[in-house]
Structure 1
Amino acid sequence: MPAAIDAVELTRELIRRPSVTPADAGAMDVLQAVLAGLGFSCRRMRFGEIENLYARHGTARPNLCFAGHTDVVPVGDAAAWSRDAFAAEVVDGVLIGRGAVDMKSAIAAFAAASAEAIAAGQVAGSLSFLITGDEEGVATHGTKMVVDALAAEGEVIDHCVVGEPTSAETFGDMVKVGRRGSINAEIIVRGVQGHVAYPHRAANPVPVLIRLLAVLQARVLDQGYPEFQPSNLEVTLIEAPNTATNVIPGTARARLNIRFNPNHTGAALAAWIEAEARIAAEGFNGTVAVTPQISGEAFLTQPGPFTALVAAAVKDAAGVEPELSTTGGTSDARFIRALCPVVEVGLVGKTMHAVDEGAPVAEIRLLQAVYSALIARYFATFAF
């Protein structure tokens, strides 16, 4: 019988590995050793400089997968922290450390819940872990590549739980059943540099860029979509590198991001931006170039037995009815949904990426209870 796992102590061990993307710093080794001790077959999948792990207990279906990431964002100003960001100290009942909320506690809680389920003989199928070290980075060598590799091999995952910190204000008040899509676009306008007193000899890229951005921002993308908030476009950078006051710059540049609901696709939005750029370039003695990057499409896990099961598990452990939401940023769920239905449930996210990121010890144990209830309900509900 596998030994019980203390979710809080395992979280502390993971936090003590400063796995700032793309570094692993031994975090994956810690988790792999724990899972191997539970009888999981563990497979490291390294792409580029990124460490990934796929581990599975059992060979039968259904296969319930937990997905998450061991990588964390940088500490920022270390002097602003009340404790060393990687010391994993517990202060007044709160575990402080980078990754405590996002999302090493969730990984540890699901591992502890898995140990309970295996010991109790509840796993009438398979449990698996899909863990990446590239969620906080560009996400090109992480979950997406693991999903592609597993799909090519015919590996079947029936349902997936992602441990992102989805609770909004209080533990268990929200789980995520979908996400808006995201597209970034860089716009570079190249004109002709010249003296401000002789504008006829130059081609100023700045007015062209300003007009283009005004057109893009003026469009109301939509009024929302069932289960989704309206799409929004945000300009995140405008610059025209120029150290002189009497020089018309030769180049102006902007970046923007659109978070979009299922009214749109990334490709359609990219085509719209490019079309407006061509119009903006008409009659201009220069060029307007757009480089779009689609980081994910909008998706929704339709209400049904799986979403109901997850909500019931939260109610079992926390005593609250969670809101089924599609708000917030993107997550690796956008890649996993190509394999199976996916729902995200985790801690309160208020301190993620912040100074003194911290998770109350009691809530880490409560999250383990949610996952335990979820696993038990899952294998009692789904059979193959």
Structure 2
Amino acid sequence: MTATDPVPLAQAMIRCRSVTPADDGALNVVQRALEPLGFACTRLAYGPDDYRVDNLFARRGSGGPHFCYAGHTDVVPPGDVAAWSDDPFSGVVRDGMLYGRGACDMKGGIAAFIAGLTDYLAAKPSHAGSISLLITGDEEARSVDGTARVLEWMQANGQIPDMALVGEPTSRKALGDTIKIGRRGSLTGHITVHGKQGHSAYPALADNPVHRLVAALGPLLAAPLDHGSEFFPPTTLQVTGFDVGNTASNVIPATARAMLNIRFNDLHSSASLTERLHAALKAAGCRYDLQADCSGESFLTRPGPFVDALSRAVLRSTGVEPALDTGGGTSDARFIARYCPVAEFGAVGAALHQVNEYAPVEELRRLAATYRVVLEELLG
């Protein structure tokens, strides 16, 4: 365990009602914890006046190697407050559990890193290289004016790290069982197929867009897009919406719409998958509009010195040999991967975004100890 307890810092952050894009003082809590440790803190605000996002970049040291810890203090809304046992922003500890929105995702993780960092610096005040933190207030919603914008500032100001660790709750069943070394990409497609309205008794006088849309989607769903790659599972395509806006059973509609989401591995890009959608629609003879939006390309940090050091640290601290994984949704690591090697490691994510979100107190303390060992492995 660490000498520094992460729980009080986690409680102080949880008590800030930082539902995206509000900050409510959460980054002030982080800054006040870092400045006495010798970190120079820079606050960076982006976005329009009605959606202003506050971010924090903090760095200690100027030499290499430069290690960066990334995380977010914004949280999702609590939902039905009446369903919570306590105020979602109370940060109450009961029966060994810390409760509150952000306890698991990921104010608890940030507090654990700062606790481990505090003990590491006490033992190694003259450590090699430099340490930075990139803490954003825009991860849970738009993800436009947070990490991506701060990275642009970091590049312009010579602050890009040599390696980065995102503290998302990656562990599945036990602390230490999973390190994420990549993520699948995500492509959303909005398809509108145009036909000709008509009476269902006279189909020759109409052009049924539903039939054409079904014919286009059929081949995409009939066979897998791939069978996976070395570190990734197979790409998946899910139709998530289908609508014709028609209430009359005897009318062939003029348009048919579908929405789909593709979670893709490193065998594809958003551009190649978009072309595949175009090809399927053209093969079915569709007159169509396609809007394709990619929230992030797939990325992979291959095993090497950085990933190996993380794995050694986790094994040393927890006794668990971590699996290297690329599953799950997207995270801010997708932005960092454009600049430097990045991996993700954090607590067990059993309660993220749930009513009565919680983090076991002892797990937070063990996570803090593990982050201290990570710093030892990476910086000596």
TM-score (structure 2 length as normaliser): 0.92
Residue in 1 aligned with 2:333? Answer: 333
Rounded to whole Å, the distance in 2 between the matches of 1:68 and 1:200 is 59
Residue in 1 aligned with 2:15? Answer: 16
Alignment partner of 1:114: what SS? helix
Residue in 1 aligned with 2:307? Answer: 307
Specify the code of the residue in structure 2 equivalent to 1:37. Answer: P
Contact map agreement 1:122 1:379 (CA 8 A) in 2? no
Contact map agreement 1:277 1:290 (CA 8 A) in 2? no
Rounded to whole Å, the distance in 2 between the matches of 1:235 and 1:127 is 43
Alignment partner of 2:116: what SS? helix
Contact map agreement 2:10 2:107 (CA 8 A) in 1? yes
Residue in 2 aligned with 1:182? Answer: 186
Matched, 1:161 2:165: yes
Rounded to whole Å, the distance in 2 between the matches of 1:60 and 1:331 is 28
Alignment partner of 2:219: what SS? helix
Residue in 2 aligned with 1:271? Answer: 275
Residue in 2 aligned with 1:257? Answer: 261
Specify the code of the residue in structure 2 equivalent to 1:46. Answer: A
Specify the code of the residue in structure 1 equivalent to 2:30. Answer: L
Specify the code of the residue in structure 1 equivalent to 2:263. Answer: R
Residue in 2 aligned with 1:171? Answer: 175
Q: Report the alpha carbon displacement of residue 260 of structure 1 after superposing the two structures with TM.
A: 1.2
Specify the code of the residue in structure 2 equivalent to 1:279. Answer: A
Specify the code of the residue in structure 2 equivalent to 1:306. Answer: F
Instruction: Give CA-to-partner distance per residue, 1:54-88, whole Å, 9 cap, x none.
Output: 11111121111000111112222222222222111
Rounded to whole Å, the distance in 1 between the matches of 2:88 and 2:201 is 54
Alignment partner of 1:34: what SS? helix
Rounded to whole Å, the distance in 1 between the matches of 2:80 and 2:206 is 44
For structure 2, list consecutive stretches of 5 or more residues without a partner in the other structure.
none
For structure 1, list consecutive stretches of 5 or more residues without a partner in the other structure.
none
Specify the code of the residue in structure 1 equivalent to 2:303. Answer: P
Alignment partner of 1:46: what SS? strand
Q: Report the alpha carbon displacement of residue 299 of structure 1 after superposing the two structures with TM.
A: 1.7
Rounded to whole Å, the distance in 2 between the matches of 1:32 and 1:319 is 32
| Cα distance change of structure 1 residues 88 and 250 upon mapping to structure 2, 3 Å threshold | farther
Contact map agreement 1:228 1:326 (CA 8 A) in 2? yes
Matches within 5 A, 1:190-209: 190-197=194-201, 199=203, 202-209=206-213
Range that drifts further, 4-13 or 176-185: 4-13
Contact map agreement 1:114 1:127 (CA 8 A) in 2? no
Q: Percent identity?
A: 50
Contact map agreement 1:96 1:356 (CA 8 A) in 2? yes
Which of 231, 234, 239 is the matching residue for 1:230?
A: 234
Instruction: Give CA-to-partner distance per residue, 1:246-288, whole Å, 9 cap, x none.
Output: 54433322211111111111111111112222333x2x5xx31
Range that drifts further, 86-95 or 159-168: 86-95
Range that drifts further, 368-377 or 34-43: 34-43
Contact map agreement 2:151 2:160 (CA 8 A) in 1? no
Rounded to whole Å, the distance in 1 between the matches of 2:138 and 2:281 is 33
Rounded to whole Å, the distance in 1 between the matches of 2:111 and 2:147 is 19
Matched, 1:144 2:144: no
Rounded to whole Å, the distance in 1 between the matches of 2:112 and 2:372 is 9
Rounded to whole Å, the distance in 1 between the matches of 2:25 and 2:254 is 47
Residue in 2 aligned with 1:119? Answer: 122
Rounded to whole Å, the distance in 1 between the matches of 2:199 and 2:307 is 63
Alignment partner of 2:104: what SS? helix
| Cα distance change of structure 1 residues 196 and 18 upon mapping to structure 2, 3 Å threshold | farther
Residue in 2 aligned with 1:36? Answer: 35
Rounded to whole Å, the distance in 1 between the matches of 2:210 and 2:231 is 39
Alignment partner of 1:101: what SS? coil
Specify the code of the residue in structure 1 equivalent to 2:314. Answer: V
Residue in 2 aligned with 1:342? Answer: 342
Contact map agreement 2:217 2:280 (CA 8 A) in 1? no
Specify the code of the residue in structure 1 equivalent to 2:193. Answer: V
Rounded to whole Å, the distance in 2 between the matches of 1:76 and 1:254 is 29
| Cα distance change of structure 1 residues 187 and 365 upon mapping to structure 2, 3 Å threshold | same
Specify the code of the residue in structure 2 equivalent to 1:32. Answer: Q
TM-score (structure 1 length as normaliser): 0.91
Q: Report the alpha carbon displacement of residue 200 of structure 1 after superposing the two structures with TM.
A: 5.1
Contact map agreement 2:14 2:90 (CA 8 A) in 1? yes
Residue in 2 aligned with 1:293? Answer: 293
| Cα distance change of structure 1 residues 244 and 21 upon mapping to structure 2, 3 Å threshold | farther
Contact map agreement 2:274 2:292 (CA 8 A) in 1? yes
Matches within 5 A, 1:29-68: 29-48=28-47, 49-68=52-71
| Cα distance change of structure 1 residues 192 and 51 upon mapping to structure 2, 3 Å threshold | farther
Rounded to whole Å, the distance in 1 between the matches of 2:140 and 2:248 is 38
